[in-house]
Amino acid sequence: EAGVAQSPRYKIIEKRQSVAFWCNPISGHATLYWYQQILGQGPKLLIQFQNNGVVDDSQLPKDRFSAERLKGVDSTLKIQPAKLEDSAVYLCASSLVPDSGNTIYFGEGSWLTVV
C-alpha cells in the first residue's frame, strides 16, 4: 500500500516569497491533516479536512496560509508571503475517520527554510 506522498521534500525561499506544498494521502483515507513541526517539538495542527470540507483550521494563520482539498483527495498548502518564523517541517497525514483504533499515517514532510 502506498503511503502519504508529499512534495517538494526541501524548499529554500526568501522572506516575502510564496511557496506551495502538495500532498497525496493514502487511498481511501477521508481525513487529511497538515501539521507544522518546529525542530524537536511535537507537530502542531494547521488544518484538518474531512473529504473536501474543513473540520478544524483554528491554528492556521489565515492572513498568510491557505489550504485546499478540492476533490477530496489531493491537497495543497500555500504560504504567501513567507516569514522567517515559517521555517519548519510541514507534515501531511491522513487517516480513516479519527475514531477508536484508527491511526494517522504521515508523509516524510516538506522542509521549508525561509531566509
Which residue in 13, 26, 45, 73 binds other proteins (CB under 8 A)? 45
Q: Which parts of 35-114 fold into alpha helices (H)?
A: none
C-alpha cell at 12: 529554500
Judged by beta carbon, residue 79 or residue 107, the one nearer other proteins is 107
- Rule CB under 8 A: say whether 97 interacts with other proteins: yes
Torsion of CA 105, 23, 50, 104, to 10 degrees: 10
Can you tell me the distance from the alpha carbon of 37 to that of 83, in angstroms, rounded to the nearest whole number?
15
How many residues in the shown chain lie near other proteins by CB under 8 A?
31
Which residue in 2, 27, 71, 103 binds other proteins (CB under 8 A)? 103
- Rule CB under 8 A: say whether 114 interacts with other proteins: no
Can you tell me the distance from the alpha carbon of 109 to that of 69, in angstroms, rounded to the nearest whole number?
18
Which residue in 41, 63, 70, 71 binds other proteins (CB under 8 A)? 41
- Rule CB under 8 A: say whether 72 interacts with other proteins: no
Burial 34-72 (b: 16+ CB within 10 A, else e): bbbbeeeeebebbbbbeeeeeeebeebeeeebbbebeee
Judged by beta carbon, residue 3 or residue 14, the one nearer other proteins is 3
- Residues that bind other proteins in the complex, under the rule CB under 8 A: 4, 31, 33, 35, 40-45, 48, 50, 55-56, 91, 93, 95, 97-109, 111
